[in-house]
């Protein structure tokens, strides 16, 4: 059973450069705040439609926990974007393409057209497979962030680090759900792999566009998107290397791929036990 925790984060003290002296890495990670609110809202919506179609009660309960966790993730990242607005960062120009992706192309009624009855369950299942592909990346990124070496010595803003680690821990917890749901809904290996390739291409495209966009949108204009800066951060262990990203992508194609195998659950528990926002949410629940 997946726990839904509802932590709350206060952003007023978090600066735009939340990794001191490393605005480029900050922007690379900040792309998450651009992509996740719309993406996770959409995931929660699709999984809500998938839940009643899943016969296995344990998996169905995981799907329900998954969608609640994702809805809270998306909401929490959206609040960071609200905080940016107060700091003079306008992201309005980035949003339409993302919104098109989720609200037009991958919508319940794609391009405003009603899906014919015979295709309705398939359309849900394929989109669950798209979610499984996205979740593969959130899970491997979570694994990267949950490593105690992540941003060690970089002195990041504690609130932002708390958000990232809480989110990473929950991604690790529910990393298997969409994959297993897509199989339960009958998506075959070929379709799953094809959708993964498309998701990979879209993710790279949007991430690079996001870094460029955020670099331009920074009112202080301290940074330009640059591969050299990316490689420097990867060497420092602040970002994954291209080699790691490639290995992650290939691993999805392995015949016995199983997202359940990835995580050290003791580390997940430890991170959640130490998170100030999660602890505060727990106190709040118990004192109600």
How many other CB atoms sit within 10 Å of the CB of residue 237? 16
User: Under the criterion CB under 5 A, does residue 171 sit at the interface with Fe ion?
Assistant: yes
Stretch that binds Fe ion, among 73-81, 154-162, 180-188, 192-200 (CB under 5 A): 73-81
Closest approach of Fe ion to the CB of residue 283, in Å: 23
Q: In this complex, which beta carbon is closest to Fe ion, that of residue 3 or of residue 90?
A: 3
Taking CB under 5 A as the binding criterion, the range among 69-77, 140-148, 247-255, 261-269 that sits at the site for Fe ion is 69-77
Q: Which is nearer to Fe ion, 67 or 154 (CB)?
A: 67
Please state the closest distance from residue 174 (CB atom) to Fe ion, in A.
Answer: 6
Count of residues binding Fe ion (CB under 5 A)?
4
- Tell me, residue by residue from 108 to 147, as one string, x for binding to Fe ion by CB under 5 A and - for no binding: ------------------------------x---------
Q: Which is nearer to Fe ion, 171 or 180 (CB)?
A: 171
Residue 217 or 272 having the CB closest to Fe ion: 272
Nearer to Fe ion, 138 or 182 (CB): 138
At 270, give phi and psi (nearest 5°). Answer: -60, -45
Position of minimal CB gap to Fe ion: 73
Residue 72 Cβ vs Fe ion, minimum distance, rounded to whole Å: 8
3-state secondary structure the chain: CCCCCCCCCCCCCCCCCCCCCCHHHHHHHHHHHHHHHHHHHHHHHHHHHHHHHCCCHHHHHHHHHHHHHHHHHHHHHHHHHHHHHHCCCCCCCCHHHHHHHHHHHCCCCHHHCCCCHHHHHHHHHHHHHHHHHHHHHHHHHHHHHHCCCCCCCCCCCHHHHHHHHHHHHHHHHHCCHHHHHHHHCCCCHHHHHHHHHHHHHHHHHHHHHHHHHHHHHCCCCCCCCCHHHHHHHHHCCCCCCHHHHHHHHHHCCCCCCCHHHCCCHHHHHHHHHHCHHHHHHHHHHHHC
Window 15-54: contact mask with Fe ion (x via CB under 5 A):
----------------------------------------
Looking at beta carbons only, is 24 or 77 nearer to Fe ion? 77
| Binding-site member from 24, 33, 45, 73 for Fe ion (CB under 5 A) | 73
Closest to Fe ion by CB, 138 vs 249, is 138
By CB under 5 A, tell whether 64 contacts Fe ion.
Answer: no
Residue 223: CB minimum distance to Fe ion, A: 26
Closest CA to 174 of 29, 43, 13: 43
Query: Between the CA atoms of 150, 74, 265 and 271, what dihedral angle is there, to the nearest 10 degrees?
Result: 50
The reply to whether 68 sits near Fe ion by the rule CB under 5 A is: no
Binding region for Fe ion (CB under 5 A)? 70, 73, 138, 171
């Amino acid at each position: 059973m997946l726990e839904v925790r509802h932590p709350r984060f206060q952003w007023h003290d978090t600066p735009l450069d939340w990794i001191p002296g490393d605005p480029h890495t900050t922007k690379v990670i900040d792309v998450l705040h651009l992509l996740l609110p719309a993406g996770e809202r959409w995931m929660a919506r699709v999984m809500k439609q998938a839940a009643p179609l899943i016969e296995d009660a344990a998996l169905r309960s995981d799907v329900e926990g998954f969608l609640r966790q994702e809805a809270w993730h998306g909401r929490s990242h959206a609040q960071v974007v609200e905080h940016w607005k107060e700091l003079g960062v306008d992201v309005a120009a980035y949003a339409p393409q993302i919104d098109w992706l989720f609200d037009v192309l991958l919508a319940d009624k794609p391009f405003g057209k009603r899906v014919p009855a015979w295709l309705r369950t398939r359309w849900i299942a394929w989109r669950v497979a798209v979610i499984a592909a996205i979740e593969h990346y959130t899970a491997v990124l979570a694994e990267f962030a949950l490593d105690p070496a992540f941003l060690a010595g970089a002195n990041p803003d504690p609130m932002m680090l708390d958000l990232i680690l809480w989110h990473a821990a929950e991604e690790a917890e529910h990393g298997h759900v969409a994959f297993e749901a897509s199989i339960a809904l009958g998506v075959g290996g070929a379709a799953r792999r094809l959708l993964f390739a498309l998701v990979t291409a879209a993710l790279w495209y949007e991430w690079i566009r996001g870094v460029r966009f955020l670099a331009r949108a920074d009112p202080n204009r301290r940074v330009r998107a640059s591969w050299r800066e990316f490689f420097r951060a990867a060497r420092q262990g602040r970002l994954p290397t291209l080699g790691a990203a490639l290995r992650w992508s290939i691993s999805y194609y392995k015949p016995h791929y199983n997202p359940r195998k990835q995580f050290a659950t003791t580390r997940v528990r430890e991170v959640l036990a130490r998170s100030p926002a999660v602890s505060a949410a727990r106190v709040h629940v118990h004192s109600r």
